[in-house]
Amino acid sequence: YQPKYDPKTDELRGAEALIRWKAPEEENMISPGRFIPIFEKNGFITEIDHYMLRHVAKDQKAWLDAGCKCVPISVNVSRAHFIESDLAEQIRDIVDSAGTPHELIEIELTESAFFDDKNAMISTIKKLKDYGFAVSMDDFGAGYSSLNSLKEMPLDVLKLDADFFRNDEGDGRGQIVVAEAIKLAKNLNMRTVAEGVEVREQVEFLASQGCDMIQGYVYDKPMPKESFARKMA
Ligand code: C2E
Ligand code: CA
Ligand code: CA
């Protein structure tokens, strides 16, 4: 789990669940960059995402029952899912079998799925929102972003990609783009999460621009669930 914080108050506001693979023959955890692309090709990505959702829903329910101050936790749903017309129902059923309130689960979609099947994506987003799940657009600003997709997708959260915060030349151009993206999201009634923020000066700047949450090494790296649970206690 990688926590998300309010940059104004430094309070915990949420987290993202990020998969890790512990292989017996390897000393370190295997990062998703090494296996997600393979599962996206062979189709098993669907099972990975369901596995993650099941575990997150189960953890949230256990923390809730233990009296923790739970925050919403987001899970990634790969674009490969969108060929399934009952994706939203599948997600709802998995969360319901754990008995977890829907407002504690958020779904992260990558915008690139929009270009595969726009109508399927819009219909899934609408259903998820009807069920009470927050839906976020992941990796906004990386690669294929299109402002037009924001117009058509009724999303709750915009996740500003780490690219915005890397190699900032300090000439102010990067800051203008970020500030305007936050403004745009606000006008569309969306919350913003800045991803991959590593330096404190950027936290101050993002707070001053009204960015709602920061998820980055400047606060915390992804951590095992026991460490994350202590932050909510
Ligand atoms: P993502 O969804 O964009 O997740 C954010 C990635 O940025 C994570 O990498 C996180 O560890 C990293 N990160 C966060 N803050 C910082 C920072 O300040 N500096 C740097 N250098 N990195 C930061 P991770 O965990 O390696 O995941 C990589 C990608 O793998 C994710 O990117 C996501 O696309 C995919 N992924 C992870 N778990 C799942 C999953 O359960 N299902 C699916 N479909 N994809 C997943
Ligand atoms: Ca994500
Ligand atoms: Ca991302």
How confident is the model at residue 145, as a pLDDT?
66
The three-state DSSP-derived secondary structure of 37-100 is: HHHHHHCCHHHHHHHHHHHHHHHHHHHHHCCCCCCCEEEEECHHHHHCCCHHHHHHHHHHHHCC
Atom 45 in ligand 1: which residue has the minimum CA distance?
A: 76
What pLDDT was estimated at residue 108?
Answer: 96
First to last CA, the chain: 15
User: Which residues make up the environment of ion ligand 3, defined by Cβ < 5 Å?
Assistant: 138-139, 195
Span 32-64, pLDDT tens digits: 999 999 998 998 999 999 999 999 999 999 999
Proportion of the chain above pLDDT 90, given as a percent: 76
Alpha carbon distances (Å) from 79 to 37, 84, 130: 12, 10, 20
Is 80 exceeded by the pLDDT of residue 83? no
pLDDT of residue 142 exceeding 70: yes
At residue 26 the predicted structure's pLDDT band, cuts being 50, 70 and 90, is confident
E strands in 78-219: 105-110, 134-140, 157-160, 191-195, 213-215
The pLDDT of residue 130: 98
Ligand 1: residue of 56, 76, 214 to mutate (most ligand atoms within 8 A of CB) is 76
> pTM of the predicted model, to two decimals?
0.96
